[in-house]
Amino acid sequence: MKVLVTGGGGFLGRAIVEQLVERGDDVSIIARGDYPELRALGAMTFRGDLADAKACAGAVEGQDAVIHTAAKAGVWGTYDDYVASNVKATENVVEACKLMGVNKLVFTSSPSVTFDGSDAEGSSNDLPYPERFLAYYPETKAQAEALALAANDESLKVTALRPHLIWGPRDPHLIPRVVDAARQGRLKIVGEGKNRVDLTYVDNAAVAHVQALDRLEDSDGPAGKAYFISDDAPVVLWDWINSLLKELDVPPITKHVSPKAAYTAGSMLEFVHRTFGLKSEPRMTRFVAQQLATSHWYDMGPAKRDFGYSPVMQPDEGFKRLVEWLSTRA
């Protein structure tokens, strides 16, 4: 089929493009940047901003399905920027799908849309949105997820996937930042360090999108629902990080800070950055402090049942590949 992947040049988007091309789909992407390596794979590339309704409609026209991964991630920035990239862009994608007769839409969401600062252990898909958010990213992703799922009907089948902490080679954000912070001695264990979290190898996150796409029109498929996605193998966060650092010959993280102290530091740093208009991301925020101190892992049963989710990469092999890739960056 003809599939448009928004944000196809990103970490997750590129993995989805590669899997779709490999199985013979006709793939296009729309992104702000230029990605000649994807054209070399055979993908058609559109350059544009999804917040521009005309550019969005032009890319969606002629497609059979859309996988919408494009978003503004991170924990710092202006509310308007997050709204434009996450809410307005999703609104435009949904409207373009309706206008152009596209009948399948997979929306990439985030588990953070349900994060209320407490532990989530073996939680299923029915977790509610929290009453308040501590960062613009989860707040606007929740808004975008809600409007995408509200668009699900007979003419447009929509599902939302929430991959948790995507990792693996080519990661431009999460793991390299953790390793760099550890090398510089800026990382501390928040709390006792026994919290368990889900991780999602990038190829597993990608295959979940492809599998969900293929089952969207089934009567018992994923349409109209949101699903947590992971490797289905929760890890003790700080033990996993220290295992990775050991492989990279980086000293382990041993110093601790209390969750309360980390939260207070995050609150103060946010205040300073906003007061003085600092563009850089604070070294700690309230949202990050709570994320680092709590457990968050989820039940993969619904994804397995409704669209046959089956990870293609086992954690041990993924870990080995990550170490090899990170070693080339040192």
Q: Which residues are catalytic?
A: 137
Cβ neighbours for 174, distance < 8 A, ≥ 6 positions apart: 165, 166, 167
Helix 11-22 vs helix 202-215: crossing angle, to nearest 10: 60
Rounded distance, CA 17 to CA 115, Å?
A: 29
**Which has the closest alpha carbon to 163: 290, 283, 24, 67?**
67
